[in-house]
Structure 1
Amino acid sequence: MRSDIAGVAAPPRPVPWLASLGLSPGLRQSLARCGWAVLSVGLFAGIWELLWAIGWADPKLLPPPHVFLGDIPDQARYFNTATRWQIGVNPADGPSPYEAVAITIGATGMRVLVGLLIAATLSIGIGVLIRYFGLLEKLVLPTITLLSPVSPIAWLPVAIFIFGIGNAPAIFMVVVALFFHMVLSTISQIDNVSRAFINVARTMGATKRQIYTRVIVPAILPQLLIVLRLNLFGAWMVVLVAESTGVGFGLGQVIMMARNTFNPSLVFFTIALIGLLGFLSDWLLRLVQKRVLYWVPETAGVLRGL
């Protein structure tokens, strides 16, 4: 039996036939993870295809994967939303279908990345300052606690009132979706730092500023990056809602167009694309986590059992 502690995923068990290939342990582990990921997605798609084959899934409402993934060029031509919605412009003009897909993915990914960086910087900085300065805690923390339960979707009219239509409201929505939760998480992690670390630092003559910069902040970074990874999926959800209000082009615009034209194949194709992008962004964030937190073992906090 295996269990995960503090949200750290346990590494997969070694696969015997991979060990016989003479590959390095790191490469064997990566191949095992990829294999289990492919098997998991394949099992899900297989069940979906089976339900379609026996007639339990209506292909007009829930088209199976081989339908919406079988003709990618036909699906990709719908991604040229910016040119299509311009008055007096031929819909065939502009980028090719594959170029339109790349532009759409790049635009949405840029909004998520910029919002993520802004939210992480602000939330961690403000969370540390709240615990560093007692007066700031009394002035700011009640307001943050009051606003944290508000759904990010409720901020959409505010974003449009302030920033209008474009990239800014979508980025603002991502920041709002992450900011309050990460501030409270930062404060909680600071409160949970072992007092032994702080006492040792004080014994060695460290000042308050040195304790925060050299003890507390490094101690809370592992858990904060895990929180950031979990909130990353929420950022992808929020940015799609923000893009549906009209930003020129984006995956949210494609979803709205597919809904308005009742095109289930395009809906599920875009959902599959969003899922892949979320998986890749989480994978990249885990690589960054390994680079930044080089002192934390990959299997830290994991109990291994039979």
Structure 2
Amino acid sequence: MAQAVIREPRMGASILRLFFHDCFVNGCDGSVLLDDTATFTGEKNALPNRNSARGFEVIDTIKASVETECSATVSCADILALASRDGVYLLGGPSWTVQLGRRDATTASLSAANSNLPGPGSSLSTLISMFAAKGLSAQEMTALSGAHTIGQTQCTNFRAHIYNDTNIDPSFADLRKQNCPASGGDSNLVPLDVLTPYRFDNNYYQNLVAQRGLLHSDQELFRGGSQDALVKQYGNDAALFASDFARAMVKMGSISPLTGTGGEIRLNYRKVNG
């Protein structure tokens, strides 16, 4: 991960997003990594992942290295959990103890990926309910949303917010319109945090207070609702955010893991053993 992040700092965010998209679909089981087969359509082409999920080659490299040292011992799901933690830490964020022992899924679900992952246009109530469905509280949802302090997103994900919403700083909207025209340029990338896009810090929450959240779903956390006070707290206290984020990551990493005789230890993350 250190080599990957040095080569491309954005990769820390990309691997973190892969882990989130894995855990929210049938648990943290490495299913997001599977390629399509004759018997199932995987999650890579689900709407939240198509043309945006990335970092697979980094997991490929790590998996190959681990297999050389201890074959059929460490799951792809555990590698993804560890790589996510390291990516955050390498960009200046907190570290935490990753619980290990997950096994890998032998199937994936396109439909679950399409229905279980909150979209960029989600309301606060939708965000709270979708995280609650995975056993995560509103506070943990708000802490985990701080992952948007790093990474980039495509114009198609924030166009409606900068052109149609009123709860946005006008100068910020104008700035983002330079990279995101009213039509066309759907895949144009901009950083989620314009100030420190490659540093894991609490600027995300300061941006929300200033109405400079890039996604509609981001700004929903601070617009007169139940999370306003917590957003202000995190914006004022980087240590509090870091510790709450780390705890929430451990909890998210324990969503419905396959253990014991469930699943398998895949030898290649892209396909089921066989």
The TM-score with structure 2 as length reference comes to: 0.29
**Structure that is richer in helix per residue:** 1
